[in-house]
Structure 1
Amino acid sequence: MSLSESEFYEAGMSLPPDVRKHVALRLLESLESADQESIDVAWTSEIALRVDDIRRGTVKTVPGEQVFAEIAAKTASRDT
């Protein structure tokens, strides 16, 4: 038996709140795992490109402390 979207929704809404929450989280996780795989592949490629750029010397690296100091300064100037 296959349920339509509205039948599935109505069946879900008839569940107790704690069960409904558990089912909703499992459904979301099923979507996130598919998305996460494509995200991981994209980031792996991007990281490889960035490492290659650093090794070739085609980009300038900036120390993390400097980056965080600049961000803090910009944030502080916006807060005043």
Structure 2
Amino acid sequence: MSSLLAELSERARQLSPQERAQLAEGLLESLQELSSPEVDAAWDAEILKRIGEYERGEALLLPAVDVFAEARRLTQ
């Protein structure tokens, strides 16, 4: 991490939760410019594929509580 990034990170932690959320939202929005039409088209196709699998009953659906429990288990 560069010294500038470390300083910005430390200063951001001093903001209120609402201000940090606003900062995070602005930073994430600035990354949207990195998206490309090819990537967007690939995600659109993936979304449609998954919707089709769900509608045909082909998707393996898991309760969110189980997914998060497994994620916690794997990260410990």
Q: TM-score, normalised by structure 2?
A: 0.51
2:11 is matched with which residue?
A: none
2:67 is matched with which residue?
A: 67
Percentage of pairs with the same residue: 33
Which gives a bigger RCO, structure 1 or 2 (Cα 8 Å, sep 6+)? Answer: 2
- Separation (CA, whole Å) in 2 of partners of 1:57 and 1:45: 18
1:39 is matched with which residue?
A: 39
- Detail structure 1 runs of 4+ shifted over 4 Å in the superposition: none
For structure 1, list consecutive stretches of 5 or more residues without a partner in the other structure: 1-28
Larger gyration radius, structure 1 or structure 2: 1
- Separation (CA, whole Å) in 1 of partners of 2:71 and 2:64: 11
Write the letter of the residue equivalent to 1:42.
A
- Separation (CA, whole Å) in 2 of partners of 1:69 and 1:54: 23
Shift of 1:44: 0.3
| Cα RMSD (Å) | 2.0
2:15 is matched with which residue?
A: none
1:48 is matched with which residue?
A: 48
- Separation (CA, whole Å) in 2 of partners of 1:32 and 1:42: 15
Shift of 1:68: 1.1
Which aligned pairs between 1:10-49 and structure 2 lie closer than 5 A?
32-33=34-35, 36-49=36-49
Counting matched residue pairs gives: 45
